Structure 1
Amino acid sequence: MGVALVAIGIIGVMAWRWVATTQAPMDRTDMQRQLNEAQAGVEGFLLANHRLPCPAAGTDGVEACGNATAVRFPWRTLGMDSDLAALHYGANRGGGADLAALPTAQDWPDFGLTFTEVPVFPALSPVPADVTAAGTRVSASYADAVALRPVVNGLDWCAVARRLAANSGATGVLRAGATGGSVPVGFVIAHPGANRQFDGNNAEGASASFRFDLPGRSQDLNYDDLMLAVGPGDLSARLGCAVRLSEMQVAMQSSYAAYDTARVMQQYWSLLRFDIDQAESAVDGAESGVALAAMGLALATTSAVLSIASAANTEGVTAFVVVMAAVNVAASIAETVLAAQDLTAAQEDLQAARDKLVAGNAYAIHVYNSLADALDHAVVTDRKGLNP
């Protein structure tokens, strides 16, 4: 009997303390703490899942995205304490900007363009290994960028929130306030207050147009609800959407500018290869000219000797014959010298063209690496999204 009485006493004390705890009125500090915890949970869910949580249909705290009348706080989905089951919650799901739905992925890192024109190598035999390595790096970086096209992140959600902020007057946008003085909100959380019941527009089914009141706006003398509402623009600012979207825009434009530079470089590169082909043809022509000039000199010399010998055997060597023979030989020598000079100039031009190609190869490596760096930076920025 004594053991039974002790057990009953313990159970009674526990029940009394539970009743006292659950029925004791909360002070305003505790209410505000719950609202702040709920807000942190909602924004943490957004950062992790790239969307707002949907309201729950009941106190079980499981979000019900398919239930248009759900208004309870989804504490279980957010992994939070069941004490928050008493809260009401709403997320904007209209106006062409469903903040609780996973957004469509954007083609961020590469502008959604096809970089098939890069890398392209001119007709080099063989292509230098360092040039090949730089081109391979571009291909790998571009493949990483393409792989991120279907991946959704917080930046995609920011684009949706920005669209809502710009179209806040659209039909269906979640609003807080009375009919004559409502404002659009991204999400809203309501605490029932010390009386543990929702008043005004916060009561389920109290209004067909507005479910929530504005923070700090009392509806009557008995109204004690506490409200926390975050507008779409304010929510975007709290998450750093403007800064992150700007960073992503800069990264995208940088990668495209580097891609455009690479295409121009490849055209210049091809011209360098063309210059070498032309210079090699010029050297071949100059070598042929030297050979022909040497042959002409040999013929002129032979002709001069034969002319002098023939004149000596017939009527004697005259000054005219000697002068003409010397002139012919001198002209042939001059042609040979000019041909040799042309060959030297052609060889110098060929060497200059080859030197330019070497410099062009180094420039190509720099341009390709710059493009790969820009794409890598855009990929990193896209993967980071809204995360620190």
Structure 2
Amino acid sequence: MGGFSLVELSVVLVVLGIAGVLLVRWLTYAHAEQKQVLQRTLLQRADDALLAYVSARHHLPCPAAGIDGIANCTLSTGFLPHAELGLPEPRAGRIRYAVYRNPAITGVDPDLASVAGDLAVAVDRAPVLQMLGNATSGSISAQVALPTGCATLAGVDCTAVPALKSNGLDFCYALRTAMNAPALGNQAHTIGSSGRVTNVAYALALTDPATSAPMAINKGHTFASPRREAGNDYQDKVRAVGMEQLWSRLRCGESLGSAMHAHANAAAAASLNVPAMDDYQEQIEIMVDLAHAGDLGADAAIVLSVAQIFSATAGIFDSIGETANSIGGWSWRVPLSTVGLGSALGATTASAAFKAKSVENVKKTAQLRSAFLDGTPASDDPDGGIYPLQLRATALYRAVSLQAQRADMLGITPGPAERAEIGKIGATP
């Protein structure tokens, strides 16, 4: 009478059974969730390591042939080179890894026949673009060429510090070129639900060995879209980083635009200003010569007007003599000779005024030439602060050109060695 009835015992057993089932399901779910978290964390760590590697080495690592994590640059797909990346976790060796390694991208840049698009190799490939003006047809005149800092700057050893020649700017240029390249199945790519192939800078896949067909989808250069939903036959985790995404992560836009375009155009404008100042000096010299010629002309005019005065005076005396000899018959010539004398006196006055003006012009042109050449403008010159133009134009070109070359050699993420080597460069290129 004081014990459990069979009904009560059955209820307890049912409750315990339900609780046990729920507990088992919860433990299974928790284990699966913990596994998912560990996989996502491992992929995130691998992704962060790759980004750090690119920032420091200016190229992506080559894949590993096996799970030992040792890079093999004869491959474009394989396993994550975790030893190269400094990831000590052995599980990282199971991550599938592929990198975009197109050796020559053609038909993308109109100024270059091909661009080295191998993202696993550091190559000097980012050309400067200088806009030199507009042609008469309306088309833009431009110059595209590789920078020559390593070849022209004294004291720079690009052999000892290779990153001065090939750095993050070159990697960013390869990314930009690859953005416009057609999708290729023999390069690292993802396949969407519609079957669309999209090339990526690199792709990572952590496959689940418990599935019935591990690595059946994420193998070789082909990776499933990271958005693919998991199912009974697919539990892989994929992380694919496209060209645009890596471009944004490295902040390539602001760096490549300023170093390869803005700096180069400023240097081109400064270089064009130097011959312009030489032409301006020639014009100033012509102005000085014209001023001196005008001064000499004024002197000649004065001499001529004085001679005219003497000639008019002689004419008056001659007219008076003729009048006396002709008993007044030639008296009408005296007023005419007097008028000639007045005209000569007027010409002398005008010549004197012209002489004063020419002297002023000689003085002003001499001051302008002195201001232009050695920077000594007149005290009343409102533009005195801009002189000496010719010396400044040359110095400005050298300074801007030097900064443009420095920007190309430092790249995006310069290290201590690069900064130390650049610090050896003098103020003149």
User: Please, what TM-score do these two structures have when normalized by structure 2?
Assistant: 0.62
Counterpart check, 1:39 vs 2:47: yes
> Where do 1:150-165 residues align within 5 Å?
151-165=165-179
SS of corresponding position for 1:76: helix
Task: Tell me how far apart the structure 1 counterparts of residues 41 and 411 of structure 2 sit (CA, whole Å).
Answer: 29
Aligned 8 A contact 2:212 2:233 in 1: no
Per the alignment, residue 243 of structure 1 pairs with 254
Task: Tell me how far apart the structure 1 counterparts of residues 239 and 172 of structure 2 sit (CA, whole Å).
Answer: 21
| Aligned partner letter, 1:111 | Q
Per the alignment, residue 333 of structure 1 pairs with 345
Aligned 8 A contact 1:258 1:370 in 2: yes
Aligned 8 A contact 2:320 2:331 in 1: no
Task: Tell me how far apart the structure 2 counterparts of residues 198 and 355 of structure 1 sit (CA, whole Å).
Answer: 89
Higher relative contact order (CA 8 A, sep 6+): 1
1:170 Cα shift?
Answer: 3.3
CA change 1:103–1:292 in 2 (3 A) is same
Greater displacement, 174-183 / 153-162: 174-183
Counterpart check, 1:386 vs 2:412: yes
Counterpart check, 1:200 vs 2:198: no
> Where do 1:345-364 residues align within 5 Å?
345-357=357-369, 360=372, 362=387, 363-364=389-390
Per the alignment, residue 185 of structure 1 pairs with 200
> Where do 1:283-322 residues align within 5 Å?
283-298=295-310, 300-301=312-313
Counterpart check, 1:111 vs 2:121: no
The percentage of counterpart residues that share the same residue type is: 22
Aligned 8 A contact 2:98 2:203 in 1: yes
| Aligned partner letter, 1:214 | S
1:163 Cα shift?
Answer: 2.1
Per the alignment, residue 73 of structure 1 pairs with 80
1:233 Cα shift?
Answer: 1.6
SS of corresponding position for 1:338: helix
| Aligned partner letter, 2:228 | R
Task: Tell me how far apart the structure 1 counterparts of residues 334 and 255 of structure 2 sit (CA, whole Å).
Answer: 92
Aligned 8 A contact 2:149 2:409 in 1: no
Gaps of 5+ in 1: 1-24, 114-141
Task: Tell me how far apart the structure 1 counterparts of residues 185 and 36 of structure 2 sit (CA, whole Å).
Answer: 35
> Where do 1:89-104 residues align within 5 Å?
89-94=97-102, 96=105, 97-104=117-124
Aligned 8 A contact 1:192 1:226 in 2: yes
Task: Tell me how far apart the structure 2 counterparts of residues 198 and 385 of structure 1 sit (CA, whole Å).
Answer: 45
User: Please, what TM-score do these two structures have when normalized by structure 1?
Assistant: 0.68
1:192 Cα shift?
Answer: 4.2
> Where do 1:213-228 residues align within 5 Å?
213-215=224-226, 217=228, 221=232, 223-228=234-239
Aligned 8 A contact 1:103 1:156 in 2: yes
Give deviations 1:307-351, integer Å, cap 9, x for gaps.
767977997998657646544543433332222222222222333
**Between structures 1 and 2, the one with greater helix share:** 1
Task: Tell me how far apart the structure 1 counterparts of residues 150 and 362 of structure 2 sit (CA, whole Å).
Answer: 41
SS of corresponding position for 1:41: helix
Task: Tell me how far apart the structure 2 counterparts of residues 197 and 309 of structure 1 sit (CA, whole Å).
Answer: 141
| Aligned partner letter, 1:89 | Y
Task: Tell me how far apart the structure 1 counterparts of residues 327 and 192 of structure 2 sit (CA, whole Å).
Answer: 134
CA change 1:38–1:273 in 2 (3 A) is same
Count residues with an aligned counterpart. 331
Task: Tell me how far apart the structure 2 counterparts of residues 239 and 198 of structure 1 sit (CA, whole Å).
Answer: 36
Greater displacement, 357-366 / 164-173: 357-366
Per the alignment, residue 14 of structure 1 pairs with none
Q: Cα RMSD (Å) of the superposition? A: 4.2
Task: Tell me how far apart the structure 1 counterparts of residues 125 and 196 of structure 2 sit (CA, whole Å).
Answer: 35
Per the alignment, residue 355 of structure 2 pairs with 343
Task: Tell me how far apart the structure 2 counterparts of residues 146 and 291 of structure 1 sit (CA, whole Å).
Answer: 64
Aligned 8 A contact 2:183 2:197 in 1: no
Task: Tell me how far apart the structure 2 counterparts of residues 332 and 93 of structure 1 sit (CA, whole Å).
Answer: 93
1:380 Cα shift?
Answer: 4.6
Task: Tell me how far apart the structure 2 counterparts of residues 342 and 263 of structure 1 sit (CA, whole Å).
Answer: 35
SS of corresponding position for 1:111: strand
Aligned 8 A contact 1:31 1:193 in 2: no
SS of corresponding position for 2:84: coil
SS of corresponding position for 1:54: coil
CA change 1:103–1:376 in 2 (3 A) is same
Task: Tell me how far apart the structure 1 counterparts of residues 180 and 216 of structure 2 sit (CA, whole Å).
Answer: 26
CA change 1:177–1:219 in 2 (3 A) is farther
Gaps of 5+ in 2: 1-31, 106-116, 133-146, 159-163, 374-386, 415-429
CA change 1:170–1:104 in 2 (3 A) is farther
| Aligned partner letter, 2:58 | H
SS of corresponding position for 2:203: strand
